[in-house]
Amino acid sequence: MSHNRTVSFEPVNAIFPRHLAPVVRQSEDGERELVLMSWGFMRLEKGRAPKPVTNVRDDQIQTNPFWRDSFHKRRCLVPASSFCEPNADVKPASWHWFALKGEKERPLFAFPGIWRRYRGPVKKDGPNVDIETYSFLTTTPNPLVATINQERMPVLLTREEEFRTWLTGTPDEAFALTRQYPADRMAIVQEGYDKEDLLGGAPIERRTGTLF
């Protein structure tokens, strides 16, 4: 019997900063495992609660010390079936959910991420905790995402060779995956004031085969 490397979790329609989410990483013995991590690298701010930084820019991941060590040593994949961008030009902000086109509704993809262990408070003057955290990579937006967010979009990976390269390739090989996902292969699948993807909560564990 093979070892079960998939943590138990309930599917959700949205993940918010500091929430736990399933993340695929390379274990010490070289096999992939699915674990739960908290979304956002914790940045300490004097006199304030630590801030979860959820995304890392492609023009900083190799140079900024806050990210660089994790990029070189601790890369991971964050499985998802959609992502959300708010339109802050309207009040209240509206929310737009992007997904990939495909034969199935909400085809699975992965954000290329990095992870690290955090030991410290999560609230101002709160007790120290010991947790694993992740953040994922963003780049300039393609024309579709730019209709809502003109600054950034997440990098999206869809093929096994991309998953393998991100997890086990050299830093240069992994960074070469940083590119816009083609706009004509994506669609806005929901828009409005709901901060959850109303159709996005199908169990991920049934759709992660290509990530293992």
**136: β partners:** 55, 113
* pTM recorded for the entire structure: 0.90
Asked whether residue 11 is domain-assigned, the answer is no
Name which of 96-105, 141-150, 176-185 the model is least confident about: 96-105
Asked whether residue 9 is domain-assigned, the answer is no
pLDDT digit string (tens) for 50-89?
A: 999 999 999 999 999 999 999 999 999 999 999 999 987 7
Asked whether residue 8 is domain-assigned, the answer is no
Number of domains the chain contains: 1
Of 134 and 204, the one with more pLDDT: 134
DSSP 184: G
pLDDT digit string (tens) for 161-212?
A: 999 999 999 999 999 999 999 999 999 999 998 888 887 654 333 333 455 5
Asked whether residue 5 is domain-assigned, the answer is no
Asked whether residue 10 is domain-assigned, the answer is no
